[in-house]
Structure 1
Amino acid sequence: MSSKAGPVQVDFVSDFVCPWCWLGHRNWLAAQKQVPEIKAVTVWRPYELDPALPREGKPYKAYMKAKFDGSNREVWQKMRDHLEAAAPGAGIEFRFDEIEHRPSTLDAHRLMRWARGQDAAVADRVADALFEAYFSKLENIGDPGVLARIGTEAGLDEAVLTDLLPGDRDAAAVRDEANFFRRLGVTGVPTFVFNGQLALPGAAAPETLAEALKEAAALPAR
């Protein structure tokens, strides 16, 4: 398999409070190592699991109880069991029982938009730091101070972030982009879109993602 036709662009539609998205990203990194002959460029795309959530967020336990009450609780427990079993193999840690705050992720997506504007490596560092901050370090990734620190450590300008994050710069653009993918039919995350032609929903196994990457690389350019 050759990548002479150019790199495969993979739009990774995700939300930073989605545990499947963190697992999906780690699986995606593993998938790329299985087919090193194919160059892929990952572009982080926003998706808010709950765009109606207030900017200040809500207490996590009350929020999750309302969302997964009754019969849905068993569904969530099964998902948790799967995630916690898969986490060590992916090199990640979920501390669900200790999370205290369910943030709005609008500002985290604004930060990612700016990181994406720098380069893919900065964007990847910001993304992984956001997931780790929320699920492992139990931080509020809706807090401008937390976001400014994450962005600065990834290579963005601290003064710029400190100035922009408390405001609304690019908030509308983030939501427009998220709505674009909803209109395309994305109803859950993670979703991988290969060269705008092939979509794969869910935190698929590395082998499945590698096969999708090979298939996308073989498709004629549009």
Structure 2
Amino acid sequence: MTAQPFTIDIVSDVMCPWCYIGKRRLDAALKDIGADIPLDVRWRPYQLDPTLPKEGKDRRAYLENKFGGPEAAERAYANVRAAGAEENIPFHFEQIEVSANTLDAHRLIRWAGSQGTDVQDRMVDILFRMYFEDGRNIGDDAVLLEAAGEAGLDQKIVRELLESGADRDAVTQEIAMAQKMGVTGVPCFILDGKHALMGAQPAELIAKAIRQIASEKTEGAKAG
């Protein structure tokens, strides 16, 4: 009998810089683990600010409301920039003109997942890069279609899905479920469906947790 893959569900928002850092650290952890443990990695939606309109909000105004202005935001982002530099992420916060509503980006990630975990992973990377490195508005349909094409999705189908509102309710329900489970911040790594690892933890800690839980699961199966 083939062993069931070890599941990793990452609750994340693509407008969250720590989620981008967390992804890089997870990638490093998975590279370290290699083929030792069969893994099934899925990206799950979360919205840090679901109140943002579809068109997003002027970044300067948004930072004014959240931090008290760009200068205060820059101080708040100092640790993010430093952590990003360690993971070779060149955060260009100054290039972000619009704080994006990410609901449609999460729909796109969901559709990418239907094409395979590798396609979904690539889509998440593309959206993070577009927002944090290129300053693109990832709530804009034209930008999402560009991302879809880069990830290898059929842009005609994606355009129709975006216009139809497909899976909007499913995504919001999944976010509500994460909140009901107690997820109040992201990234949150849910290991094997039961164990939550909060925050952008170091790659070594993520790999250690996966190995430990997988080992306990194997020993439990043998005892059973």
| Normalised TM-score (structure 2) | 0.90
Q: Contact between 1:148 and 1:165, CA under 8 Å: does it hold in 2?
A: no
2:25 aligned residue (20, 24, 27): 27
Q: Secondary structure of the equivalent of 1:118?
A: coil
From 196, 201, 205, the equivalent of 2:198 is 201
The letter of the residue matching 2:32 is Q
Aligned with 2:83 (options 67, 82, 86) = 86
- 1:183 corresponds, among 180, 183, 194, to 180
Shift of the alpha carbon at 1:78?
A: 5.1
Alignment correspondent of 1:137: 134
Q: Output the amino acid matched with 2:45.
A: P
Q: How far apart, in 1, do the equivalents of 2:190 and 2:212 lie? A: 12
State the distance in 2 between where 1:186 and 1:110 align: 20
Report how far residue 77 of structure 1 moved.
Answer: 4.5
* Counterpart Cα distance in 2 of 1:200 and 1:78: 27
Give how far 1:90 is off.
1.4
1:140-179 residue pairs with structure 2 within 5 A? 140-179=137-176
Task: Note the residue ranges of structure 2 that are not aligned, 5 or more in a row.
Answer: none
Aligned counterparts of 1:81 and 1:52: Cα–Cα separation in 2 = 26
CA contact (8 A) 1:8 1:216 kept: no
2:5 corresponding residue in structure 1: 7
In the TM superposition, what are the counterparts of 1:118-129 in structure 2 within 5 Å?
118-129=115-126
Query: What one-letter code is carried by the residue in structure 2 that aligns with 1:41?
Result: D
Aligned Cα root-mean-square deviation (Å):
1.8
Q: Percent identity?
A: 43
After superposition, the C-alpha distances for 1:76-118 in whole angstroms (9 at most, x for unaligned) are 5554112211223312211112211011000000101100111
**Count of aligned pairs:** 216
Instruction: Give 2:210's match in structure 1, choosing from 197, 202, 213.
Output: 213
> Amino acid of the residue matched to residue 197 of structure 1?
K
Deviation at 1:218, TM superposition (A): 2.1
3-state SS of 1:111 partner: helix
CA contact (8 A) 2:46 2:175 kept: yes
> Does 2:55 align with 1:56?
yes
Q: 2:40: which partner in 1?
A: 41
Question: What are structure 1's unaligned runs of at least 5 residues?
Answer: none
For residues 112 and 75 of structure 2, the distance between their equivalents in structure 1, rounded to whole angstroms, comes to 34
**Larger deviation: 212-221 or 14-23?**
212-221
Deviation of 1:52 after TM superposition, in Å, equals 1.6
Instruction: Point out the more displaced range, 5-14 or 199-208.
Output: 5-14
- Among 94, 99, 104, which residue is 1:102 paired with? 99
